[in-house]
Amino acid sequence: MKKLYFSLTLLLSFFSFAYCGDGTPVIESIDGNKITTAGFESAFDTALDTLSRTQNIEKKNVIKFLTEEESKVPQSFLQLRNEFRKRKFFDRYHEMMVVKSAADKSGFSKRSDIKEILKFQEMQLIYGMYIAEQIESRIKITEQELNQGCQELRTKYKQAESLTLEQCYDAARAQIKGRKSEEVYKSVLDRIKETVAIKHNDKFDLEKYLDKEFSFPELSKEEAPKAEETKAPEITPPTPAPEATK
């Protein structure tokens, strides 16, 4: 399995935190925002769903990795497995509620630069999840492919011999899915583009614009000499006029 780059903090940053008036017990209130048992459990489920979608791992397998004994869990999942334990998850969830409340009160969340960063992160997340869902709808894996994939795994990897048939099928499915995802990615992207109206500005020379490297004003400011460090130019004394001939 590929390495997982998502941390619990990043997963939690993708959804809202306040759940009020849902009729379930209130755990605590932070600046008026209530953490209820239903809200907390919903956040946990959303984090699982986010991980499943962004990392292209079936949700049932994510749950399986969280509940099975450690020896059966992929190495790449062990760190997240610890972060998804109920107490650990709640501690981080509570901490983020506190920090978000402080950020909102200070006006941090309303700053234009922060809004732009959040907008860019949202675009990245939607991009990944939408393409993954479209690819998922195009992939069909037959029983025969699973059986063949399982046999190949058992032949290639000695540790696969101890897997149950279901576990072997899950591993084979992940490999087949990864391979087929790469195969259909371009056609899926092309189909998505067909649903969107794109109008190019013929008066704009895109190639010329892209050939020119980005300029960074911050870098220019750093390189500019400071006023106090600027030395006055040296003045060369004038050459004396030759003496008149007596």
**Cα–Cα distance between 193 and 200 in angstroms, integer?**
14
Residue with tokens 């040296």: 234
Distance CA 31, CA 230 (A): 52
**Which residue bears the tokens 């978000």?**
100
Report the pLDDT value the prediction gives residue 170, as an integer from 0 to 100: 86
Q: Does residue 46 carry a pLDDT above 90?
A: yes
pLDDT score recorded for residue 246: 40
Full DSSP string of 166-222: HHHHHHHHHHHHHHHHHHHHHHHHHHHHHTS-----TTS-HHHHHHSPP--HHHHHH
Angle at which helices 37-55 and 59-67 cross, to 10°: 110
Average pLDDT in the chain: 84
Q: Residue 69's pLDDT is what?
A: 84
Spatial distance between the Cα atoms of 97 and 115, rounded to a whole number of angstroms: 18
Domain ranges of the chain: 20-110, 112-200
Give pLDDT, residue 86: 94
Lowest-confidence segment of 58-67, 73-82, 171-180 by average pLDDT: 73-82
pTM recorded for the entire structure: 0.73
Lowest mean pLDDT among 21-30, 154-163, 232-241: 232-241
What pLDDT, in 10s, does the model give residues 100-136? Answer: 999 999 999 999 999 999 999 999 999 999 999 999 9
Q: What percent of the chain has pLDDT over 70?
A: 80
Q: How confident is the model at residue 215 (pLDDT cuts 50, 70, 90)?
A: confident
